[in-house]
Structure formats: structure tokens, C-alpha cells
Structure 1
């Protein structure tokens, strides 16, 4: 399992909804991973991107093939807005709280990515959000548990896998097509990204 490309710099793109950092580009050499994000990353809207709960975003290289075939056009590394393109790693099946060692840094899986209108605009595919939701391979947002440096080609080692079955894919479905699953996320509420944790706790409170 490796990081195929660390794509973080020169990512500004301007569309109808304003400036965005979605257009990630490959970089060579080491990149610093810190609690607030990756060195050189372009983050334009910090209300919904970056910060402790979304310091990095990983998307699986293997999931590119389906999109390339479906859309009939090339998709370049970083086009999903990911900082890390992984190889031979089941990102959708990663468990919330799973820890990945990459380079000298350690990342914690804490949320799926839920697409927004900027993503559809960047790809110029009006129904992209619906397609992305149906496909349900959203990639994972990561916290930086141990700051360090990462480089394209670094191996990924899963150093901790929690003893539960709440995966990135399950959380994504709970947030999108299967909200009835939200109460099932209570056991990982303390690990989930803060905004998702609040949603889970509100749902649990209504269930009492």
C-alpha cells in the first residue's frame, strides 16, 4: 500500500461559486503534514475544508477506473480534490479511527467526503453529486495524529484498526441515502469529525 501522489499545491480554481482549492496538482519531494493540514495546500473555504478534522483527504486510485469508464474521459490525479491518492488500500472500507502511518506522519480516518456543488462545477458534470452518492466510494478525510513529512511513493501502514465495523462507506450512507443508520454511529461519535458527531448526537437524542 502506498501513497501514489501527494497532491497539494497550486490548487486554486475559480468557478461560478467562487474560488476553490479543489484543483490539486502533483508535487515531488517531501510535504509537511501538520494538525491543520498539509504544507502548501490551497484551502479557500475553511468553514467546510481543512482544519483539524479534514487536514487531509485520501481517495483510492482503484476507484478512478470506474469514473473514467463512466464519463468517457481522462481523470488526472488530484481531480477528486484529494491530497493523497492511495494504491492498494480499501479507503471505503477503512474504519473510523483507523490509523495510517505514512512517511514520518500518522493519520486518523475520521469522516467520508460528502460532495458539494463546487465539485460538480469543477468537473462540469451537472449530476455529479447524484452519481457520486450512488457510487458511494467517497474517500476519507484524515486528521494528523502525529505531524511529520510525507512523500509520493511512501508506503502506507495500517498501524491500528479499531474493533468495530463502522467504516467510511457506512458513515457516508448514513449521511446521504440511509439516515436511519445515524444512531448506529454513536460508538464512534467521539472520533468522527466534529460536525458529523453533532449530527449523530442530535439524532441519538431524538431517539431516546
Structure 2
């Protein structure tokens, strides 16, 4: 199965005027042919709010290509990648088929899945679809994030090649379900946060949920 890159995208925060408000966001990224991937992310890429975005556990954001057709049908509106502010839009890497801890080669780099993406309101505002954020959370079609194990050049012709799969119980979609819809499931959460490869931010969030 070929995990083919559809778009490769980088961008820095800019001020956007949405519904009469000025918001600083990096959601509006631009297509590139080739870019260097470092431990902190792609050169030339940045985030506006480091509390929720960016950092070593969230160096790369991927959004599955197949979801575009799903959303276009639901909202009867064309969407063009990177509509979700993703660095990489890829075929054949749905949340249900990718697991926390999966290690992939990507061009000359090596990356590891750390968590699902927690989307923000910029997704709805950028695409001018009020219900998009709510539906992304409901479906778990959020995309997901990677840490960088080995830095290297990535180009538009690079493919994701699975190198190692640490476990097959917690897919990204399963993790998203726990995060957004099943925060009372103590047994599953206690097992989930034992995953060494899970992003530290998610471990912290789930640990707090257990203690309340």
C-alpha cells in the first residue's frame, strides 16, 4: 500500500480577519516541493499558540486525504489542501489504520506518531464552515501529529514507509475517542497513558482527567 503525499505545506503565523475579529494563526500554509524536517518541525514552518501547537511531540501535522471528499460531500463545498493547516496531506493513512508509536520513514527523515490533533476554531473560520470543528471532533477525523526521530529532507515525492509498530490496541482514532468522548473510561485511559510513545501533553491531560 502506497502512502503517497498529496501536498507538502509550511507556513508562519499571520493575522487573519474572521467574523470581525483579528486572529493570529498559521493555518494558511503554502505548498512546497522540498523542505528540511528538524526535531522542532519543518524549516519555515511555525505555530501561533505553542500551548496547543508545535514542540518536539507535535513537530509534524498530517491530515488524511480521504477526509476531504467526506467533508466536501457533507458541507457541499470544495476544500483544497491544506484546508486543515496540515503540513502533509497523505493517502492511505487514516486515523483508524495508524497507531500511537508507529514509526515511519519519510524521505530522509524518520518520524513517530505521538497523538491525535486537538483541532481549534481556526479550522471552521478558515474554511467558513461553522459546523466543521464540531464535526471533526465528533468523527475523530482530526489528523494527527509526529515527533521527529531523525532529521532529513522531505520532498513531494516522498512516501511514508512503516518501519516499526509498537502496539495494535490504540489507533489514533481510538485515542481520539478517549480524548473527546470517553474521558470516564478509567481502565482504558490508565492503559493508554502507559504507552511510552504517547505525547507528554496527552499523558498530562488524561492523568488530570483521572484525578477529577
What TM-score results when the alignment is normalised by the length of structure 2?
A: 0.88
Aligned length: 205
SS at match of 2:162: strand
TM alignment of 1:104-115, pairs within 5 A: 104-115=108-119
Unaligned runs of 5+ in 2: none
Which SS does the other structure have where 2:5 is aligned?
A: strand
Question: Residues 188 and 176 of structure 1: is their aligned pair in 2 closer, same or farther, counting only changes over 3 Å?
Answer: closer
Please show how residues 39-54 of structure 1 align to structure 2 within 5 Å: 39-54=43-58
Question: Given the alignment of the two structures, is residue 194 of structure 1 paired with residue 194 of structure 2, yes or no?
Answer: no
Task: Report deviation, 1:123.
Answer: 1.8
Decide which moves more: 15-24 or 151-160: 15-24
1:22 aligns with 2:19: no
Aligned position for 1:129: 133
Structure 1 residues 52-102: Cα deviation after superposition (integer angstroms, max 9, x where no partner):
111010111111100111111211111111101111223343110001111
Contact 1:95–1:109 (CA<8 Å) still a contact in 2?
yes
Q: CA deviation at 1:198?
A: 0.8
Match for residue 62 of structure 2? 58
1:6 aligns with 2:11: no
**Structure 2 counterparts to residues 22-101 of structure 1, below 5 A:** 22-28=27-33, 30-101=34-105
Deviations 1:89-145 (A, max 9, x none): 233431100011110101110111122122222122222221112222211111111
Mapping 1:128-207, distance limit 5 Å = 128-181=132-185, 183-189=187-193, 190-204=196-210
Which runs of no fewer than 5 residues in structure 1 stay unpaired?
Answer: none
- 1:34-62 per-residue CA deviation (whole Å, 9 max, x = no partner) reads 11111111322222111111101011111
Q: Measure, in 2, the Cα distance between the counterparts of 1:3 and 1:55.
A: 17
Question: Helix, strand or coil: the match of 1:3?
Answer: strand
**2:139, 2:114 → 1: CA distance?**
20
Q: CA RMSD in A?
A: 1.9
